[in-house]
Amino acid sequence: MISYRWRAIVATLALLLTLVPAASAAPDNQTPDRSSILRIANGNQVQDPTNLNIYNPSVSRSDTGIHQLVYEYFFYYNLQTGEFIPWLAENYKYNADFTALDVKLRDGVTWSDGQPFNADDVTFTYDLLKNNPGMTWASNVNDNVDTVEKLDNLDVRFHLKMPNPHFHLIREAFPAVGIWGGITILPKHIWQGKDPLTFKASPPIGTGPYTLQDATSTSFTYVRNDNWWGNKVFGVLPAPKEVQFVYQGSETTAALALANNDLDTPNIGILGLGSFLNVTQRNANVSAWQNSPPYAWLDPCPRALMVQNAHPPLDNPQVRWAISYAIDRNALVQLAYEGATVPTWGIWPFYDANQPYFDAISDLRAQYPSDQFNPDQTSSLLSQAGVNPGDITLKYVVNSENNEDMKVMQVVSDQLRTAGFNVNVSPLTGGVLNDTLLRGDYDVAMNAFCPGYITENLDLFNSKHYVPLGQPAPFYEMDSYRYQNTDFDAIVNKMIQTDPSDVGTLKGLYHDAMSIWLRDLPVVPLTQAPALVPFNSTYWQNWPSADNAWNMPVSWWATFDLVLTGYPKTGGGWVPGIKPAG
Helix (H) or strand (E) holding 456: helix 454-459
559 in the Ramachandran plot: left (φ > 0), alpha (ψ -120 to 50) or beta?
alpha
The domain that holds 354 is classified in CATH as 3.10.105.10
Q: Is 343 helix (H, G, I), strand (E, B) or coil?
A: strand
Within-domain flag for 502: yes
Q: Give pLDDT, residue 21.
A: 43
| Residue 383 and residue 266 share a domain | no
| Residue 413 and residue 359 share a domain | yes
Residue 40 CA neighbour count, 13 Å, CB half? 28
Q: Give pLDDT, residue 10.
A: 43
| Residue 557 and residue 451 share a domain | no
One-letter amino acid at 99 equals: T
Q: Is 466 helix (H, G, I), strand (E, B) or coil?
A: coil
- Dist CA 577 CA 68 (whole Å): 14
Domain end point (choices 191, 213, 233)? 191
| Residue 451 and residue 567 share a domain | no
Within-domain flag for 496: yes
Residues in the chain: 582
**CA 62, 429, 255 angle in degrees (round to 5)?**
65
Domain end point (choices 145, 166, 191)? 191
| Residue 409 and residue 331 share a domain | yes
| Residue 435 and residue 418 share a domain | yes
One-letter amino acid at 571 equals: G
Alpha helices in 385-451 (DSSP H): 403-418, 430-438
- Gyration radius (Cα) of the chain, Å: 23
- Dist CA 129 CA 144 (whole Å): 12
198 DSSP assignment = T
Kindly report the number of other CB atoms within 10 A of residue 362's CB atom: 10
Cis peptide bond prior to 451, omega within 30° of 0: yes
Within-domain flag for 29: no
What range does the domain containing 515 cover? 299-530
Q: Give pLDDT, residue 237.
A: 97
| Residue 44 and residue 147 share a domain | no
| Residue 211 and residue 155 share a domain | no
pLDDT means per 10 residues, the chain with 582 residues, are 40 44 41 84 93 94 96 93 92 96 98 98 98 93 96 98 91 92 97 97 98 97 98 97 94 95 92 92 95 87 96 98 98 92 93 88 98 98 96 96 92 98 96 95 95 89 95 92 98 91 94 98 95 94 93 93 95 94 86
pTM: predicted TM-score of the whole model, two decimal places? 0.77
Within-domain flag for 368: yes
| Residue 174 and residue 48 share a domain | no
Q: Give pLDDT, residue 6.
A: 42
Within-domain flag for 30: no
Q: What strands, in cross-sheet order, belong to the sheet with 155-160?
A: 89-94, 100-105, 155-160, 145-152
- Dist CA 178 CA 451 (whole Å): 7
- Dist CA 136 CA 59 (whole Å): 10
| Residue 303 and residue 277 share a domain | no
Q: Is the dihedral of CA 490, 496, 497, 501 positive or negative?
A: positive
Within-domain flag for 6: no
Q: How many domains does the chain have?
A: 3
Helix (H) or strand (E) holding 321: helix 317-325
| Residue 345 and residue 255 share a domain | no
Distance of CA 392 to the CA centre of its chain: 31
Residues with Cβ < 8 Å from 307, sequence gap 6 or more?
314, 320, 323, 443, 444, 481, 522, 523, 524
Domain end point (choices 530, 547, 569)? 530
Within-domain flag for 489: yes
One-letter amino acid at 74 equals: F
Q: Is 570 helix (H, G, I), strand (E, B) or coil?
A: coil
| Residue 352 and residue 236 share a domain | no
The domain that holds 163 is classified in CATH as 3.90.76.10
- Inter-residue contact 567 to 560 (CB < 8 Å): no
Within-domain flag for 289: yes
- Inter-residue contact 257 to 282 (CB < 8 Å): no
- Dist CA 68 CA 560 (whole Å): 6
566-572 long-range contacts, CB within 8 A, separation 24+? 566/236, 567/76, 567/78, 567/85, 567/87, 568/85, 568/86, 568/234, 570/83, 570/85
Q: Burial of 376 by CB count in 10 Å (0-12 exposed, 13-18 middle, 19+ buried)?
A: exposed
The domain that holds 536 is classified in CATH as 3.40.190.10
